[in-house]
């Protein structure tokens, strides 16, 4: 009997323990289901009762278009398996360690909301993600550049530039913005209209009239209490499947509310694109239309990167109060203060005593060259820390190949190698400091071919060959101790007219002895086109560190080559003298690395397709952090498939 009672008791304990374990294991999956019913009832989101019920409550969210879709749970909504969703997103940062140093990026935040199963829950999620992005970037001070072209109608070419404006500065992404401009002598009247009004010198409040405003939809009150959200469709932007929503401000919600459309990626529900304006506008002011794009450069966040703005109607009988196109680029979110040369592992101490002649004190000439090298290194480092110079990369190697072609064919043998670097700004500019040639992103963009690139590089190489060394004063390190926004007022590398004339003469000699000698007609076409646009594009041709390519309406560099080649003819579709801005160089907004844009050629069907030196809309091919590089496609391809 005692044995039977003991066996019965043991069996009862085992069954109770198994039941308790089964309940404990079922709790994690039950929690999201219970929570999924609570947001609509307990959160302020229920205040929005005017949105269509069919779009908000009955439309289930499709499974993410990711590798996770191949798992057995692909046939069910992503919300039904939160574990699978978490593991999929965690795999992306791990695969991307070689792409970007995630240690300096803000840590991804974990959502407090359940995985969405309806569009109503998607709205709650992307509102939460938008506020998380604002918090993550709140301590960042990226560089912001706006280049604007006023437009006028041309009977043959349509809207063409009639004038231009350029703004460059650093902005604080916090609650209120302190904007510090690199250019101290800007058109204050135009700035007031573009940037939202100056409250004191070089300080701009974060108001919705500036180009920088549309980095976010609404900086302080992006919520259901102020906006209505209407689901439209699903659509691909590049490789990223998105949910598209129209966003409208509620009645009496205040001035300057976002009005337009947003695209939300379907894995973590971040906003990746905003398109629209702000309404209602106050009297005697403008709210510009903007198209704002974000890139997934760090785990968990899509970083504001490009903003395109356009105003004007050139239909018959319409009079424009304001007509322009503008590109705003943001970069320098994670400016580095040091590189591999700063690591202690790079320091090596040798105990071997070297008594060779090269180990002795430098000769006077060697000392002069060392001094120039020190100045050169100081300048390059300071420009990089200011966010104006791209880190050394693949584009530099391409430029270096062109310089090597010129050196080898002209038997140039310099005591120190010539280096090349990319200035990240739009104005067309080159300069040299020591043996480093610097060329701007904007100039590389508009050059039509390699021969034209060789021509602008040959001018700076000529300065180096002729010993026109500038900047030796920057070997004193105290001259590098200035704020980033005063960079242009503390650095300068402009040559005197006599040196410029001598460099032009030497450059033509170098080109005539180079592999580019038979292609100088193309260089002549580029210079003719540049000459034709000098009066309309004064800001684009205004240099800030080096000598200008054109000044006072005339060419000031390599003008002898402008006589070569045929005359400009817009009706010849095969004659491309210069390219639009943004066609060659792509800058990573997070780490400032520059790379060449790889796009398939697009056929020109009319003279209006040429757009030399012009601003055009942005249309980046979106991809997820850590994903494989997409195949080359035309830059004009939208790659959008509504209803997918």
User: 608 to each of 24, 315, 395, how far by Cα in Å?
Assistant: 68, 16, 30
User: What is the distance between the alpha carbons of residues 47 and 589, in angstroms, rounded to a whole number?
Assistant: 38
- Using omega within 30 degrees of 0 as the cis cutoff, is the peptide bond preceding 280 cis? yes
- The model's pLDDT over 506-542, given as tens digits with 9 standing for 90+, comes to 999 999 999 999 999 999 999 999 999 999 999 999 9
pLDDT at residue 18 greater than cutoff 60? no
How many Cβ atoms sit within 10 Å of the Cβ of residue 355? 6
Nearest to 88 by CA among 99, 78, 98, 77: 78
Q: Which helix (H) or strand (E) holds 53?
A: helix 53-57
Q: 3-state class of 302 per DSSP?
A: strand
87 confidence band (pLDDT: 50, 70, 90): very low
Please provide the size of the chain in residues: 644
- How high is the pLDDT of residue 483? 87
178 confidence band (pLDDT: 50, 70, 90): low
User: What is the distance between the alpha carbons of residues 307 and 294, in angstroms, rounded to a whole number?
Assistant: 9
pLDDT at residue 229 greater than cutoff 80? yes
User: What tokens were used for 450?
Assistant: 């390699």
User: What is the distance between the alpha carbons of residues 235 and 232, in angstroms, rounded to a whole number?
Assistant: 10
User: What is the distance between the alpha carbons of residues 30 and 114, in angstroms, rounded to a whole number?
Assistant: 11
Q: Quick one: three-class SS letters along 383-421?
A: HHHCCCECCCCHHHHHHHHHHHHHHHHCCCCCCCCCEEE
Among the residue ranges 87-96, 212-221, 401-410, 423-432, the one predicted with the least confidence is 87-96
Nearest to 148 by CA among 113, 103, 194: 194
Q: What is the mean pLDDT of the chain?
A: 78
* Whether the predicted model's global pTM rises above the 0.85 cut: no
352 confidence band (pLDDT: 50, 70, 90): low
Listed in sequence order, the residues at least 6 apart from 254 whose beta carbon sits closer than 8 Å to its beta carbon are 221, 226
User: What tokens were used for 620?
Assistant: 């980046």
Q: Which helix (H) or strand (E) holds 26?
A: helix 2-36
| DSSP per-residue string spanning 516-546 | TGGGHHHHHHHHHHHHHTTTT-TTTT--SSS
Nearest to 627 by CA among 238, 308, 247: 238
Phi, psi angles (nearest 5°) of residue 425: -95, 165
Question: Token match 């000031």: residue?
Answer: 556
pLDDT at residue 490 greater than cutoff 60? yes
State which of 102-106, 283-287, 291-295 shows the largest mean pLDDT: 291-295
- The model's pLDDT over 181-196, given as tens digits with 9 standing for 90+, comes to 777 654 444 444 443 3
User: What tokens were used for 317?
Assistant: 């009988």
């Amino acid at each position: 009997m005692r044995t039977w009672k003991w066996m019965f008791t043991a069996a009862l304990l085992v069954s109770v323990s198994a039941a308790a374990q089964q309940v404990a294991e079922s709790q994690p999956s039950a929690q999201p289901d219970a929570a999924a019913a609570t947001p609509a009832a307990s959160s302020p989101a229920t205040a929005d009762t005017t949105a269509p019920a069919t779009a908000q409550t009955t439309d289930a969210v499709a499974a993410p278009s990711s590798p996770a879709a191949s798992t057995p749970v692909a046939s069910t909504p992503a919300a039904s398996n939160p574990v699978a969703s978490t593991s999929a997103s965690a795999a992306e940062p791990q695969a991307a360690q070689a792409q970007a140093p995630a240690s300096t990026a803000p840590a991804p935040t974990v959502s407090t909301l359940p995985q969405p199963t309806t569009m109503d829950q998607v709205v709650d999620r992307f509102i939460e993600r938008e506020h998380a992005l604002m918090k993550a970037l709140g301590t960042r001070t990226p560089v912001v550049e706006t280049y604007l072209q006023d437009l006028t109608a041309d009977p043959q070419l349509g809207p063409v530039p009639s004038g231009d404006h350029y703004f460059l500065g650093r902005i604080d992404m916090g609650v209120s913005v302190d904007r510090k401009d690199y250019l101290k002598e800007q058109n204050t009247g135009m700035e007031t209209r573009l940037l939202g009004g100056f409250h004191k010198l070089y300080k701009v409040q974060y108001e919705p009239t500036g180009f920088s405003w549309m980095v976010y939809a609404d900086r302080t009150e992006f919520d259901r209490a102020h906006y209505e959200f209407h689901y439209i469709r699903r659509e691909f932007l590049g490789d990223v499947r998105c949910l598209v929503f129209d966003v409208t401000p509620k009645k009496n919600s205040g001035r300057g509310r976002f009005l337009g459309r947003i695209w939300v990626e379907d894995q973590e529900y971040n906003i990746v694109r905003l398109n629209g304006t702000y309404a209602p506008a106050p009297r005697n002011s403008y709210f510009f239309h903007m198209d704002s794009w974000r890139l997934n450069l760090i785990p968990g966040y899509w970083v504001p990167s490009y903003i395109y703005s356009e105003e004007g109607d050139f239909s018959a009988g319409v009079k424009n109060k304001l007509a322009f196109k503008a590109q705003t680029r943001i970069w320098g979110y994670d400016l580095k203060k040091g590189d591999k040369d700063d690591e202690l592992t790079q320091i090596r101490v040798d105990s071997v005593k070297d008594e060779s002649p090269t180990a002795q004190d430098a000769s006077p000439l060697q000392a002069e060259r060392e001094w120039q090298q020190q100045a050169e290194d100081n300048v390059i480092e300071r420009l990089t820390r200011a966010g104006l110079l791209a880190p050394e990369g693949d584009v530099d190697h391409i430029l270096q190949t062109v310089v090597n072609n010129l050196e080898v064919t002209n038997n140039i043998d310099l005591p120190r190698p010539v280096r090349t670097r990319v200035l990240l700004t739009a104005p067309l500019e080159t300069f040299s400091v020591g043996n480093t040639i610097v060329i701007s992103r904007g100039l590389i963009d508009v050059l039509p071919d390699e021969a034209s690139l060789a021509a602008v590089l040959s001018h700076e190489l000529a300065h180096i060959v002729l010993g026109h060394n500038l900047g030796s004063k920057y070997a004193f390190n105290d001259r590098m101790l200035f704020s980033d926004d005063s960079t242009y007022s503390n650095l300068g590398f402009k040559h005197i007219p006599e040196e410029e004339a001598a460099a032009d003469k030497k450059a033509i000699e170098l080109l005539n002895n180079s592999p580019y000698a038979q292609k100088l007609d193309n260089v002549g076409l580029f210079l003719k086109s540049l000459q034709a646009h000098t009066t309309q594009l004064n800001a684009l041709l205004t240099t800030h560190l080096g000598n200008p390519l054109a000044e006072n309406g005339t060419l000031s560099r390599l003008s002898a080559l402008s006589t070569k080649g045929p005359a400009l003819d817009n009706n010849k579709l095969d004659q491309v003298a210069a390219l639009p801005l943004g066609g060659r160089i792509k800058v990573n907004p997070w780490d400032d690395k520059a790379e060449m844009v790889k796009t398939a050629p697009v056929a020109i069907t009319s003279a209006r397709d040429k757009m030399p030196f012009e601003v055009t809309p942005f249309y980046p091919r979106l991809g997820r952090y850590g994903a494989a590089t997409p195949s080359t496609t035309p830059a004009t391809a939208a790659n959008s498939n509504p209803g997918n």
